[in-house]
Amino acid sequence: MRFVFLGLLWASIACAQDFIPNLPDIPLPEGAESESVFDFDTDDTHLTQVVVYAPSSLKETQQFYNETLPQLGWQSAGENHFKRGEDTLTLEPVSATKDLTTLRLQLKAAINNP
């Protein structure tokens, strides 16, 4: 039953907004755009960094991620830091005005080597 609920929750979130193309389980605030900065692997880690341009204030953008990411299994690990399993996501404010926020998102995902 839990998996059915999570599937329905994922579907409702997916219908409500777009996701970052090279981070398909990280949503974009409404009207936001993203661009890839880099994406590479080390022996045990996959590192992806993108920049998000959100048409909202820093507070509104942070609130969006603080409310949305836990619905996708991410747990807060401090201000602008989230953890899901062995993966970590960091949101770094680059610049912000009352109607445009630029964030650098960095996902550090563990690679499960056999």
Cα→Cα distances 88→2, 46, 98, Å: 24, 11, 28
- pLDDT category of residue 11 using cuts at 50, 70 and 90: very low
pLDDT of residue 18: 92
- pTM of the full structure: 0.81
Residues above pLDDT 70, as percent of the chain: 83
The Cα–Cα gap between 53 and 33 comes to: 5
Q: Residue 39: enclosing H or E segment and its boundaries?
A: strand 33-41
Task: Give 28-83 pLDDT, tens digit per residue.
Answer: 999 999 999 999 998 899 999 999 999 999 999 999 999 999 999 999 999 999 99
Residues above pLDDT 90, as percent of the chain: 74
The Cα–Cα gap between 64 and 97 comes to: 16
- Summary mean pLDDT of the chain: 87
**Domain range summary for the chain, segments of one domain joined by +:** 2-110
